[in-house]
Structure 1
Amino acid sequence: METVAVDLGEKSYPIYIGEGILSDLTVLLSKADKWLVITDENVDHLYSEQLAKALGELPYKKLTLVPGESSKSFQTVERIIGAMVEARLTRHSAVIAFGGGVIGDLAGFCSSIYMRGISYVQIPTTLLAQVDSSVGGKTGVNVQAGKNMAGTFYQPQVVIIDTALLETLPIRELTAGLGEVIKYGIIYDYELLNFIEHHFSDFYTCSFTPLNELIRRCCEIKADVVAKDECENGLRKILNFGHTLGHAIETLTGYRRYLHGEAVLIGMYYETLLAQKMGLISEEYGQKINTLISRTGLSMDISDIPADDIARQMTADKKNSDGVISFILPTGQGQVAEYTLTSEQALAFVYEL
């Protein structure tokens, strides 16, 4: 088992990474008078017995939600808070988020507002959640106006990453996770990008040696960025590469057509072309990035989504201010910077997709 520290002073916490470490759960958890496990139907079907065995004699209740982005709603939040009350959770209780990014976002958000804040633990079960959404304390709920427009910054007590859980992950979920993985190589660590290139097929076969190394490095990068900028006032914005366009197409397709990581892959693909057109990166580097993205086999065709709608949705993104649209764009190997476009410039960009 490896440990990555997220250094946030009094809010610091460890990330434990290893194959099969779910069996050590009671050793890795802090004390609480009661526990509420929040999971989804898919994860519960696969791992309910294994989790129950790992929790042993700990007093807990379990709430199982419908899988998918559609559950990230205030209707679900009300259901979770109701389950917390029914389980008689106190300020000394804790929540376990056992699932992917949707479960983590919901569990973290509800933990942050229940009794004005109780502890929660992240046990991510997807590659995307293990390398990204479980670390850093961002929680979120979708509303009609856009993705994650309601949310809090609320750090977990601990993140427990059992890489063996990825063995049952569908290929599509692995691809979605690679979206965030590739992002780290572009925004922060060019050597990681080369590592992904070299071991690309290993990730799809869940070869644990390169997979554990990949997850550890991604967590180190995320932990470093979060430690320097917890509430996204500066450096943490670099994590939004691919998300300006990605969030727009997720919202416009009702969160049903794309997994989050798939939308990020598409966003990165076109935002790389934008950086290339603006002269920020060479054609050679742009091709390297987009060739790697294309290896996932995901279609980049979004021509059926009206360009006007995409531009309008990007304008509504929460990262924007002063009437301009914020993009994080590659500027060199392992380097990105923030650039802004007017709505007219963004529309021209979208029409060229």
Structure 2
Amino acid sequence: MTAPRVVLGVSGGIAAYKACELLRRLTESGHQVTVVPTAAALHFVGEATWAALSGRPAATETWESVHEVPHVRIGQNADLVVVAPATADLMAKAAHGLADDLLTNTLLTARCPVVFAPAMHTEMWEHPATQENVATLRRRGAIVLDPAEGRLTGKDTGKGRLPEPSEIFEACRRVLARGDLAQDLAGRHVVVSAGGTREPLDPVRFLGNRSSGKQGYALAATAAARGARVTLLSANAELPDPAGVEVVRVSTALQLRDAALKAVVDADVVVMAAAVADFRPAEYVTGKIKKVDGVDPAPVALVRNPDILAEISAHRARPGQLVVGFAAETDDVLANGRAKLARKGCDLLVVNEVGDSKAFGLDTNAAVVLAADGAEVHIPDGPKENLADAVWDQVAARLR
């Protein structure tokens, strides 16, 4: 089997040094990588470094090996082009079809999936010109990952940091795995909730559940790899941020509700995969509840939390918005799932059996996707990424 051919474009930003780690991951996983750095990028990382890490000469000049027509052939022969870091200047050229160096020529001739991993100062990312260029690239089918938040050049912090190379690699791997189907969510905004809410009882105790957030994070990552703009509402999940995903952190059910109602306003799809506590303590004790020898603790009074999934389903924020729920069941899985689908009013309900050695905290999952139109799709046990893609397949078909 031929190794996937990847073009790693590197534009001139300080984050260019991080592309070395991305290159290492690509080559060590068996990809054939051609590095195409811009002239500015070579001020940060030299040509010899790219050649040594890739095991191939770096392609730097349009006028080298002219008989091989590199400005056309490199893009034509690629299975994937990823630009990391992608500066505001590089994306502006790509959006407007400019081709003044080998990398921009490669982008114009590529007929494979293209992934941009932006990195720049916050003001540059938020500038209307950059946002319009990003929207143009996404509309044409390119996958533009949202930058991460954190430390930038110097003392500055904010949104604009290059996503971690490990997460960019995962996004690229997912894109390559899907091939021509990679961009079927392009131009869509999806909101995904993940993890498990925690309802505080006192400063050190809470009511919670065993959800790790792995399934929700898989849904967010696969949606980003399929071209969507993704907002991930993360409830107490201790997982790395998926590349290109906006992460909003919450803890309680009430916080999740507030974040969800804000995020879904312009969403095409809402997937509520988080395990939301049905109840919360009626009273929060400000000091740690003490154990008294010989005295039983007072009963904990509970009150209901809002039903976020039912609320979002009943009051769609925009026409045509698709809502997907998750149901974790321990018995009568399908019967309970069908009843829950009717009760919640969502379009799809992903029903899975949970319990010891099932679903929670594992890397695998099995489920049945029930649809309001009566369809029923069984997804066999396998990596949670596979289940996520199967869910998005059902969503994408209904969006079309």
Say whether the fold is shared (TM-score over 0.5). no
Larger Rg: 2
TM-score by length of 2: 0.30
If asked which structure has higher relative contact order (CA below 8 Å, sep 6+), I would say: 1
Relative to its length, the structure with more helix (as a share) is 1
